[in-house]
Structure 1
């Protein structure tokens, strides 16, 4: 891919948000060597959780996939806030996905693809990553999904 990650975001019609400071005792990103560990991101839009509830219940798979994509956008916003330029990302190492689900819902990997697919769209092969997609009974603020990630930077 010859265009920059930020140009690819623009081509997708995505503008990275400015994210609020954490409301608890943690930091959004920790850098250790050339790795960035990004704390869990909820599907926030304009300061509000955009998709709440449970997959297999009141949240459709399409809504869950959209929420996962929003989380990936917020992950990228955190990385950009630290690096100043997404072109400094050399690899998406790992993505961790948490999907609020009813006990019988087993489609967590499909929901996580909403985040995974965006990272590959933005970074190409460098966006391919190891991943966990786990179901849980509840997430903060009743969010339908939450994602954290590890990025390698130059």
Structure 2
């Protein structure tokens, strides 16, 4: 990671997304009574996000039954793209983000599946690619769930710190 990727200027995050050839899906509409993000001082709390394709459709399936670990990793990466889309929509610019602070990754899987951290690496690796090795890497938990809404394979919620 170069130093220039660590200290992104206002248009650099969008440029980085474009350089990586990434396509953000449309931001999802809330599926219940909640706000997609809540800002308290400089703390930005992101509600749980699911994996969406570029056309906005959900990726579905249970890991260990419908999906392999590698497919779940890709779904976790897709959650990252969905979250970036939500953040851009709600904030106006991803450049308002100083760093990722905390991630909670939930994997919809069979009880025998134990590679939750490897699946959530799909999300975490994307954050590092976008925000850099320091700003894109936060504290993290990765846990297994018996089910998730709409049978999505992965859900991620996160806390970010906004720039002053």
> TM-score if structure 1 supplies the norm length?
0.94
**SS at 1:49 equivalent:** coil
- Equivalent position of 1:141 in the other structure: 150
Q: Does 2:119 correspond to 1:117?
A: no
Q: What CA distance in whole angstroms lies between the structure 2 residues aligned with 1:83 and 1:27?
A: 13
- Equivalent position of 1:23 in the other structure: 31
| Structure richer in strand, relative to its length | 1
**SS at 2:22 equivalent:** coil
Moved more, 101-110 or 83-92: 83-92
- Equivalent position of 2:136 in the other structure: 127
CA RMSD across the alignment = 1.2
Within-5 A mapping of 1:5-16: 5-16=13-24
Q: Runs of 4+ in structure 1 displaced over 3 angstroms?
A: none
- Equivalent position of 2:64 in the other structure: 56
**SS at 2:26 equivalent:** coil
**SS at 1:104 equivalent:** coil
- Equivalent position of 1:2 in the other structure: 4
The Cα shift of 1:15 comes to 2.6
Q: What CA distance in whole angstroms lies between the structure 1 residues aligned with 2:28 and 2:80?
A: 16
> TM-score if structure 2 supplies the norm length?
0.88
**SS at 2:61 equivalent:** coil
Q: What CA distance in whole angstroms lies between the structure 2 residues aligned with 1:86 and 1:127?
A: 12
Q: Which runs of 5+ in 2 are unaligned?
A: 6-11
- Equivalent position of 2:51 in the other structure: 43
The Cα shift of 1:74 comes to 1.0
Within-5 A mapping of 1:49-88: 49-50=58-59, 52-88=60-96
The Cα shift of 1:81 comes to 1.5
Q: Which runs of 5+ in 1 are unaligned?
A: none
The Cα shift of 1:17 comes to 2.7
Q: Does 2:99 correspond to 1:97?
A: no
Q: What CA distance in whole angstroms lies between the structure 1 residues aligned with 2:81 and 2:151?
A: 19
